[in-house]
Structure 1
Amino acid sequence: MRTVHDASGDRYLLVKRSGESSRVRDPRTGDEQYLPNAELTFDDNDEAPLSVAAMAVSEPVRRVVSAAHDDRSLGLLVELADRGPLSVVELLDAYDLCESDLQGLLAEFRAAGLLAEATVHGERGYDATDVTRRAVASLRESE
């Protein structure tokens, strides 16, 4: 599978190419349409087709899915989205994470832009970012 884009920069997945037109799929909606080949640029090693296909999922959800390796790490993000900000002491007391595991997850989530440092009752803590809150809300809606 290849990717193509039109003059406005919109990316599509190439479904079928013929002489005059090509059937393309919009990765965000899944809708297919025929577009004239003259209006398309066929990408060579630009973006991997599977990365383009992932655009069907909102950016905040993609970021959470990429960063949360298991249910426990996803649960930490959900808890901070629901209850945050929480101090590191509160996080260690409330959940079954050792300090090194917690610090590792917090560092990964901060690097991904999912958590921000916060001061809670005069102690160092963390809070979910708006991206995380939107992603959690979106994931809950999909049930």
Structure 2
Amino acid sequence: MKPVRDDHGNRYLLLKRSERASLVRDPETGDECYVQNDRLEFVAESGLETAAATIDDPVRTLLTNVHDEKTLGLLVELENRGALGVRTLLDAYNLCESDLHGRLTVLSSAGLLAEIDVAGERGYRLTETCELALEAIRTDETAENDENEEPPLE
């Protein structure tokens, strides 16, 4: 499937092309329709990128930058506890300094974390992008469980 755009800027995935018209699918709705070929132009990205673009930006950013459960857990802990200093993160979560630094760098570069001052030392807090992404992927059951849990011990 090749991505195309019509003369109104709408993006589609090309399914079948004939002499005069092409069968296209809207990646957001799944609706299929025929569009005249002279109204279509090919887009310089893969069909998979076009399909991925149907996911909200914050969630896509989270999915493409969080590669394991420890990193996701770090974000959830910052969501639950608020901004934390680097020393607190090192002490509380049993990560070596280089692992923590690598995770914080990736998450900051992706716009999921912001560096701030916490009690006179370097710390981190979630960005609005990260908060939106976590909210979007959280289920009702997960939210209920979080409300009933005790905060983790330091």
- TM-score, length-scaled by structure 2: 0.83
Deviation at 1:79, TM superposition (A): 1.8
Q: Tell whether 2:40 aligns with 1:40.
A: yes
Specify the alignment match of 1:6 in structure 2.
Answer: 6
Corresponding residue of 1:135: 133
Alpha-carbon distance between aligned partners in 1 of 2:85 and 2:62, rounded to the nearest angstrom: 21
Name the stretch that deviates more: 33-42 or 95-104: 33-42
Q: CA deviation at 1:76?
A: 1.1
1:12-31 correspondence to structure 2 within 5 Å: 12-31=12-31
Residue-by-residue CA offset, 1:75-118 (whole Å, 9 max, x unaligned): 11222233221111121122121111001100011111111011
- 1:113 and 2:111 equivalent? yes
Unpaired runs of at least 5, structure 2:
142-154
Match of 1:62 among 56, 60, 63: 60
Give every structure 1 segment of 4 or more consecutive aligned residues whose post-TM-superposition deviation is greater than 6 Å.
none
Distance, in Å, in 2 between the alignment partners of 1:14 and 1:41 is: 10
Query: For residues 97 and 77 of structure 1, what CA distance do their matches in structure 2 show?
Result: 14
Matched with 1:93 is 91
Distance in 2 separating the partners of 1:94 and 1:30? 46
Following the alignment from structure 2 to structure 1, what is the Cα–Cα distance between the partners of residues 69 and 112?
16
- Residues 29 and 56 of structure 1 are in contact (CA less than 8 Å); yes or no, is this contact kept in structure 2? no
The verdict on how the C-alpha distance between 1:13 and 1:54 changes in structure 2, with shifts beyond 3 A counting, is: same
The whole-number CA distance in structure 2 between the counterparts of 1:74 and 1:14 is 35
Cα displacement (A) at 1:54: 0.6
Contact 1:68 1:74 in 2 (8 A): yes
Please identify the structure whose Cα radius of gyration is greater.
Answer: 2
The one-letter code matched in structure 2 to 1:16 is: K
Separation (CA, whole Å) in 1 of partners of 2:14 and 2:140: 28
Please name the residue that 2:80 is paired with: 82
SS at match of 1:56: coil
- Counterpart amino acid of residue 70 in structure 1: D
Q: Unpaired segments of 5 or more residues in structure 1?
A: none
55-64 vs 103-112, greater mean Cα deviation = 55-64
Could you tell me the percent identity over the aligned residues?
52
CA RMSD of superposed structures (Å): 1.7
Partners in 2 of 1:16 and 1:83 — Cα distance?
Answer: 52
